[in-house]
Amino acid sequence: MATGGRRRGRAFILIALILILLLVLAWAVVRFFAPQQLPAAPGESSVPPTPVEEMTSIVISVQPVSRGLEFNETNVTTIPYPKKDLVEGAFITDIQEVLGKRAKFDIEARTPITMTMLVDPTMKNSPAAFQIPPGQVAITIPVSKLSSVAYGLEPGDHVNVIVSLLLVDIDPGFQSKLPNNTGVVVAPGPSGEGGPTTISASVSKTDSLSGRTELDPTLGQPIYVIPSEPQRPRLVSQTLIQDAIVLRLGDFTTSDQQAQATAQQQPTPVPAGGQAQQPTEPAKPDTVTL
């Protein structure tokens, strides 16, 4: 009896030890092989912390910048950029190094600015020189309301230049316009019976134009035909230049002249009891630069 009780007690102890061992083994598996399934402790975040990346700033364009245009706060700004990816001297990090400079060529929007894109404004080149593509030249021609499409041209437009010439026939020897004027030549010798004898010939000009001899078909006799008026020129038009770009209308002005012109267009303050003076209308351009 006593022996059977001791055996049952040992069996219970052995089973309890096995259960405890299984529980410890299960806890170790869950702890080391599936930590994400464990509930987070109070005050402890279950998301691993993200390492903080050190950033710097670079200068970029916020809108398209044309060749020769000055950089200012409206067309450039700064954006964050990873410092570890920044190559020394590749991009500009200080916006003050860009402000006041000019663009060496056309720059698209959202383009990082580099030193190779900048031109010192103190150099002797004029702003107009930056707008002329390499290998091309600019030429200014006079225009009027009819030849400038009623002043509808704007910088950047593409136009054709049509030249109109008045052609006339010329005398190959004189290189003058035909017909020639006629003259009367008096040969040397006696001018009449008993008259004086001239030593040299004399030429007297007449108002008549030289004509030509024609045979009259009715009379069958030659007649001398004289033109009723000087030669009328013939109008000839031809396309001289195709797809030219309008660079500017009117004269190129400096910044001071532009500010003065803008001030003149603004209305003056109204005096007490008076009428407002209307701004003067700007003069129409008489030239266009292509």
Indicate which CATH number applies to the domain containing 76. 3.90.1210.10
Residues 243 and 136 in one domain: yes
Half-sphere exposure in the Cβ direction for 117 (13 Å, CA) = 26
Find the domain containing 108 and state its range: 55-124
Are residues 227 and 99 part of one domain?
Answer: no
Let me know whether 140 and 223 are in one domain: no
Residue type (1 letter), 118: L
β partners of residue 170: 177
Instruction: Give the pairing of strands 76-82 and 102-103.
Output: unpaired
Name 200's Cβ contacts closer than 8 Å, sequence gap at least 6.
188
The answer to whether position 33 is within a domain reads: no
Give this prediction's pTM: 0.46
Write down the pLDDT at residue 56: 86
Whether residue 177 is found in the same domain as residue 82: no
Q: CA nearest 285: which of 157, 147, 126, 159?
A: 147
Task: Say if 47 falls within a structural domain.
Answer: no
Structure tokens at 13: 């102890």
- Do 250 and 143 share a structural domain? yes
Pair (95, 218) in one structural domain = no
| Alpha helices in 34-144, H assignment, sequence order | 127-130
Q: Is there a domain that residue 196 lies in?
A: no
Residue 39 within any structural domain of the chain = no
Residues 146 and 93 in one domain: no
**In this predicted model, what pLDDT tens digit does every residue of 10-49 receive, in sequence order?**
777 888 888 888 888 887 776 766 545 445 555 555 566 6
138 and 260, same structural domain?
yes
Q: The tokens 């080391």 sit on which residue? A: 32
In a domain, 255, yes or no: yes
- Structurally, how many domains does the chain consist of? 3
> Does 248 lie in the same domain as 159?
yes
**Can you list the residues of the chain whose pLDDT is less than 70?**
1-5, 30, 32-49, 122-127, 130, 189-207, 253-280
Q: Are the beta carbons of 288 and 148 closer than 8 angstroms?
A: yes
Let me know if residue 243 belongs to a domain: yes
State pLDDT tens for residues 76-110: 999 998 888 888 778 888 899 899 888 877 889 99
